[in-house]
Chain A
Amino acid sequence: MLLNSVSVDELARDEESLKRFLRTLPPVDQVGVEGRAAMLSTRSIKNASKNFAIDLAIRMVDLTTLEGADTPGKVKALCNKAVRPDPTDSTVPHVGAVCVYNDMVSIARAHLDSIGGHDVPVAAVSTAFPSGRASQAVKIQDTKDALDAGAGEIDMVIDRGAFLSGRYGEVFDEIKLIKSLCGEKAHLKVIFETGELVTYDNVRKASFMAMLAGADFIKTSTGKVAPAATPPVVLVMLEAVRDFHIMTGRKVGVKPAGGIRTTKDAIKQLVLVNETAGEEWLSPNLFRIGASALLNDLLMQRMKMRDGRYSSSNYVTLD
């Protein structure tokens, strides 16, 4: 389907060539992709695999709080949880990252460093999250603020209005611009808000466009719009990532976010990863799960696997 030797720069030389390339992408077979996602989510997972999957999923969680009511205290509590998810069990690994709003980045970074969480990066949502409705100057400043405050990862939203109107060049340039600001300092995750893109074809187009523009990760959703990270959408994105790797040799990560609340949901995602992008993607470097409630369920399932008795939310923290 895709050629091995295409030059990435050549594909996106200007808006015309980008559009031409996106038009050549084959359309997604909706029935097929939904069927495949449904089939893969019926896999039976045996106990040894489940233990592995739970710990892997914990390492992949981007522990998130994105609420208007966030306070420094709440963010610090979240950081504590990120470093030591279960205070009663030191064998639980730390999570992938902490994901907060821009103004909380410095608080999170300082607190993580003070409790020995140097390995846990802070991800900041950026470019007028969640809507992406602001001038470019504001988006640039938004990103710079986060980087200056110590963000190791930038979760930017694309301008869905521009994308849906077919102004791909505009969206592409914006991703490229933010990527250049991030430079070597921070990883860039590009949020599509798949619930607003409507079709799987759009998800595939957006995935390739973001990867061409230099995204390190492509991310489904802000968590503010439903539906969010449904298995078929994640499958389409994983296929895009796999094809892009074949095409250019560059590995791009995927981050589903929104609606993944239970261990079962998380394990279904891991099955999709393994069966689509491959084993190499079963790592926090290439797959993350944006979540808040999920971590508690993972911990409760971990207790169940350890103690043989069903646990209760009384034994995990409230947030």
Chain B
Amino acid sequence: MARIDVLKTYKLYINGAFPRGESGRVYEVKDSKGAFLANPCQASRKDLREAVVAARAAQNGWVSATAYLRGQILYRAAEMMQARKSEFVDAIIALEGKSPKAASDEVDSAIDTWVWYAGWSDKVSTIAGSTNQVSGPFYNFTIPEAVGVVTIFAEAKSTLLSLVSSIGAAISTGNTCIVIAAEKAPLTAITLAEVLATSDLPHGVVNILTGKSAELVSWVGSHMDIDAVDVSGLTKKQEADVRLEGAENLKRIHRFTEVRSAQRILSFVENKTVWHPIGI
């Protein structure tokens, strides 16, 4: 008798769990040749709301962990990515139509990029912080601190590489994030969720939603508990919407092109300056 394949259910990743979407909707994802590939969940604004609650709840613990520990945990995630390399390669070949060699190179590069961002966690304050000369009896320090909850609209091109650079840059300094995967190519994001779920990352630090980003744009823009948005995966028109709504709570909104860039990290930190009296 022929064996019946065990097919995978593609789900969301919220607070360390893999729920189906609140609305129960799914949508069709096709491969690069137009054949049916998968039915991932179509997240609703309520899934977004749950993800923000999870990210907010996780943020204090994540930013309070030592930078060294955050780096170690991120490195552990790179180890898990390495172990699942073939799954990433398959997804990239199917979704982005790349050759096996190109796909394999992209995954290698993504893993290296993740390690690159892992290394930054305990170096950011050395590079971006400073001791400042002031005309008074004070020690004066400037320390970069995580802004809080970052929402990432992932790019549709080189999905794994762009996911890794967006997430790595956001969380290495202690932010937590909600990723809205590229609408047409969400499978690498879902596999990445499975990697992160097995890599000591505290629940809620990274939450991944799949679905139609257009219906979530204004909810992300208007949400008062989101502190920053990476709009790399949005159109200029959508970015303008996020900026308009996001002005209400002064969201940090950025678009990036470079994969490995310290600027990506520094975009999602705030500088805190401390005046400490000398002699006390």
Interface set of A (CB-CB < 8 Å, partner B): 308-315
Q: How far is the CB of A197 from chain B (nearest CB, A)?
A: 32
A274 to B249, CA, bound (A): 39
Q: How far is the CB of A44 from chain B (nearest CB, A)?
A: 13
A308 to B223, CA, bound (A): 9
Q: How far is the CB of A298 from chain B (nearest CB, A)?
A: 15
Chain A neighbourhood of B49, CB < 8 A: 310
Chain A: CB-nearest residue to B219: A310
Q: Could you pull out 10 A-B pairs where Cβ atoms are within 8 angstroms?
A: A308-B222, A309-B224, A309-B248, A310-B49, A310-B222, A311-B224, A312-B223, A312-B224, A313-B225, A315-B224
Contact present for A309 and B56 (CB under 8 Å) = no
Q: How far is the CB of B19 from chain A (nearest CB, A)?
A: 16
Chain B neighbourhood of A309, CB < 8 A: 222-224, 245, 248
Q: Which 7 residue pairs of A and B lie closest in terms of their CB atoms, listed nearest first?
A: A312-B225, A309-B222, A312-B224, A310-B223, A311-B224, A310-B49, A309-B224
- Taking A310-B223, A311-B224, A312-B249 as known contacts, 7 extra A-B pairs with beta carbons closer than 8 A to each other, sorted by chain A number, are A308-B222, A309-B245, A310-B219, A311-B225, A312-B225, A314-B225, A315-B224
Interface set of B (CB-CB < 8 Å, partner A): 49, 52, 56, 219, 222-225, 245, 248-249
Contact present for B56 and A313 (CB under 8 Å) = yes
Chain A neighbourhood of B222, CB < 8 A: 308-310
A312 to B222, CA, bound (A): 11
Q: How far is the CB of B229 from chain A (nearest CB, A)?
A: 14
Q: How far is the CB of B271 from chain A (nearest CB, A)?
A: 19
Interface centre among A308, A312, A315 (most CB of B within 10 A): A312
Q: How far is the CB of A29 from chain B (nearest CB, A)?
A: 32
A315 to B225, CA, bound (A): 10
Chain A neighbourhood of B245, CB < 8 A: 309
Interface centre among B222, B223, B224 (most CB of A within 10 A): B224
Q: How far is the CB of B208 from chain A (nearest CB, A)?
A: 19
A231 to B248, CA, bound (A): 38
Chain B neighbourhood of A311, CB < 8 A: 224-225
A310 to B219, CA, bound (A): 8
A69 to B279, CA, bound (A): 33
Q: How far is the CB of B51 from chain A (nearest CB, A)?
A: 11
Chain A neighbourhood of B249, CB < 8 A: 312
Q: How far is the CB of B20 from chain A (nearest CB, A)?
A: 16
Chain B: CB-nearest residue to A303: B224
Chain B neighbourhood of A308, CB < 8 A: 222
Chain B neighbourhood of A314, CB < 8 A: 224-225
A37 to B56, CA, bound (A): 30
A137 to B139, CA, bound (A): 60
Q: How far is the CB of B18 from chain A (nearest CB, A)?
A: 22
Q: How far is the CB of A108 from chain B (nearest CB, A)?
A: 30
Q: How far is the CB of B63 from chain A (nearest CB, A)?
A: 16
A311 to B224, CA, bound (A): 5
Chain A: CB-nearest residue to B48: A310
A81 to B198, CA, bound (A): 43
Chain A: CB-nearest residue to B52: A310
A309 to B251, CA, bound (A): 14
Q: How far is the CB of A80 from chain B (nearest CB, A)?
A: 23
Chain A neighbourhood of B223, CB < 8 A: 309-310, 312
Q: How far is the CB of B215 from chain A (nearest CB, A)?
A: 15
Chain B neighbourhood of A315, CB < 8 A: 224
A311 to B52, CA, bound (A): 11
Chain B: CB-nearest residue to A262: B53
Chain B: CB-nearest residue to A315: B224
A315 to B249, CA, bound (A): 11
A172 to B52, CA, bound (A): 49
Q: How far is the CB of B33 from chain A (nearest CB, A)?
A: 40
A310 to B220, CA, bound (A): 9
Chain B: CB-nearest residue to A311: B224
Interface centre among A308, A309, A311 (most CB of B within 10 A): A309
Chain B neighbourhood of A310, CB < 8 A: 49, 52, 219, 222-225
Chain A neighbourhood of B248, CB < 8 A: 309
Chain A: CB-nearest residue to B223: A310
A312 to B219, CA, bound (A): 13
A264 to B155, CA, bound (A): 35
Q: How far is the CB of A243 from chain B (nearest CB, A)?
A: 38
